[in-house]
Amino acid sequence: MLPLYITSGEPAGIGPDICLSLAERVDERPIVVLADINMLRDRAKILNQNIELIEYMGQTESSKKGQLYVEHVPLYEDVVLGKLNPKNSAYVLEQLRRSAYYAMEGQSVGVATAPVQKSVINDAGIHFSGHTEYYQEFAGVERVVMMLATKTLRVALATTHLPLRDVADAITKERLHQVIDILIHDLKTKFKKDHPQILVCGLNPHAGEDGYLGHEEIEVINPVLESYRAQGVNMSLSLPADTLFTPEHLKDADAVLAMYHDQGLPVLKSQGFGEAINITLGLPFIRTSVDHGTALSLAGTGLAKSSSLHAAVDLALDLARR
């Protein structure tokens, strides 16, 4: 069977630690970690874990419990736990490149990603906005949608990694149509929601309060939403974000569309941090990710929690079956 690739992310952080926990699993297809195999051996020793690391050479069967397939990606410099090194930024990006290439070429079912540190990649002189934007550019698609999910809530974003002062200008009718089209399509095809119900956050407090607190809802957001409602899509008009995320509103919702990163994600993460999953919609392959960062101070301590990575792997495998 085709493998699922896992990028181990920033080597000075907890990515390698949580990837080693995948040796606890026995899955129906190979799970392959992209990492420097010698660095993983060193990290396993630090964590006092007895894991057999097997170099992946195209095996089609799953590894056994206590074993972990690794495709060797060489580091540029040795890793100091918790200390970022811009010279290893190319190593991190090579993981992403390989994972995207294999998925695009049909050599894998997709990818689940451990966290990277955007700042150190940019410090290396390489412009990098994040995983989502990297995979979008690699796949050559005009628009992707970032969605985080727990067992009870899915939140998609109209904009992703933008400074707050740039958000309003970025929310155009064209962007909203692209985002909503992708969201509806993937809820139907990936999540098997034949008639998805979508709630939409307004941009401004109180969803603009009839124009007294902003005109984006009146001039941009609601006209777009009305066009989908006229087609029979089960979608709200813009709602105040401070009351949208209540049990009464969410009980029948399949997804919430938030206008910007910190409008929707704090609510979702407060409900299920460590269990949430990041999914990139609109790609021609499956991509899931953890919901947390590199946690540099926890690297090599044994305190890092791997539950989000396991949830991301579970979802990627589930989507691959559909």
Annotated binding site for substrate: 131-132, 269, 278, 287
User: Which positions ≥6 away from 60 have C-beta within 8 Å?
Assistant: 1, 30
Q: What residues are designated binding site for a divalent metal cation?
A: 161, 206, 261
User: Rounded CA gap, 162 and 67, in Å?
Assistant: 40
Of 3, 126, 143, 129, nearest to 59 by C-alpha is 3
Distance CA 160, CA 156 (A): 9
Percentages (nearest 5) of helix, strand, coil residues in the chain: 40, 20, 40
Annotated binding site: 131-132, 161, 206, 261, 269, 278, 287
- The C-alpha atoms of residue 219 and residue 117 are separated, in whole angstroms, by 37
Specify whether the CB–CB gap between 229 and 128 falls below 8 A.
no
The helix or strand, by DSSP H or E, that contains position 92, with its residue range, turns out to be helix 89-104
Are the beta carbons of 278 and 157 closer than 8 angstroms?
Answer: no
